[in-house]
Amino acid sequence: MTQVRALQKIMALLFANSTAAVNSSDTRMAGCLLIGIPGLEHLHIWLSIPLFTMYVAALIGNGILICVILSQPSLHEPMYIFLSMLASTDVLLSTSTMPKTLANFWLGSSHISFDGCLTQMFFIHFLFVADSAVLLAMAFDRYVAICSPLRYATILTSTVIGKIAAATLTRSFIIMFPSIFLLKRLHYCRINIIEHTFCEHMGIARLSCSDISINVWYGLAAALLSTGLDIILIAVSYIHILLAVFRLPSQDAQSKALSTCGSHVCVILLFYVPALFSVFAYRFGGRRIPRYVHILLANLYVVIPPMLNPIIYGVRTKQILEGAKEMFSNLYKESK
């Protein structure tokens, strides 16, 4: 509480200094303060160590994965192209939050402009929706490979993959762009202190003095029409995949088919389970579960899946391991 009061005083001073430029009844121009993880302020330095380590590991792991896929012609197949798309969105998602979080923990850089906060909010949600769409595309890839193997090359052509990538970005933009205007239309008359390490839609909306019912319903609709729909379609895809696998004549063929989906299933669970747990815990256990637990989970969520995805695919996928060995071998030869 002492830190919150101190931050309120700082925010009040910032707002006082901006009154010459803006209407005194609007606090948007004063910006926002991200106070980090409330209740664990004394542990910010210690918490930054594992977060920084996982963030760097995510950057290195996904960077290597992307380079391997791009440099090896044998990996220029739909499955690996979608995997490189997933790695790219993972890197961008963790980068949209971690640098500001670490700057806050290390340097006390808690202030962010209102427009900067909106920008961060947009990219976090945009990349989350894009990540979910890429996982759906990967599920479709496995569905075609197992249920229609003879038509795989004719269905998932380079043109189709390009259209899927464009549709992923377009859908994410269409879903999340209106949230900026929904937040800008609100009136802000309070001290803009956000009890979080990064800006998110409802966290900003709750700073407003206006009715935020539209924001609440829009956020729910956006989640259901993007992530919720993706989960349903992925589940349907894997039901068809399992039915097709169990109709295969030999047990070896069944094991081989299931093993090709194993890495993707692990990544799907790693992406959706923590997200769903966080959502349900916030909705139904908000009063019983401390606020810092929700925020800590949110921070871990944007670094743990990006960190583990390259490891999962690297360990379980022989082609990627061989491609990585060949890439590093070529780099070593060129350095001589």
Residue whose structure tokens are 């960077």: 63
Q: In the predicted model, what is the mean pLDDT of residues 53-76?
A: 92
pLDDT score at 43:
87
pLDDT of 210 strictly over 70: yes
| 235-247 pLDDT, tens digit each | 999 888 888 888 7
Q: What is the mean pLDDT of the chain?
A: 83
pLDDT of 202 strictly over 60: yes
Query: Encoding tokens for residue 22?
Result: 């803006």
SS3 state at 193: strand
Q: In the predicted model, what is the mean pLDDT of residues 12-28?
A: 49
What is the secondary structure of 278-320 as a DSSP string? Answer: HHHHHHHSTTTS-HHHHHHHHHHHTTHHHHHHHHHHHHH-HHH
pTM of the model: 0.86
Q: Which of 17-26, 114-123, 183-192, 304-313 has the lowest mean pLDDT?
A: 17-26
Q: Which of 66-70, 240-244, 318-322 has the highest mean pLDDT?
A: 66-70
pLDDT score at 160:
94
On whether the CB atoms of residues 309 and 62 are closer than 8 A, the answer is yes
Q: Which tops the pLDDT comparison, 9 or 26?
A: 26
* 8-state DSSP, 29: G
Short-list 69, 245, 67, CA closest to 142? 245
| 77-107 pLDDT, tens digit each | 998 999 999 999 999 999 999 999 999 999 8
Q: How confident is the model at residue 20 (pLDDT cuts 50, 70, 90)?
A: very low
Burial 16-25 (b: 16+ CB within 10 A, else e): eebeeeeeee
By CB atoms closer than 10 A (0-12, 13-18, 19+), residue 121 is buried
* Domains (range + CATH), the chain: 33-335 (1.20.1070.10)
| 117-143 pLDDT, tens digit each | 999 999 999 999 999 999 999 999 989
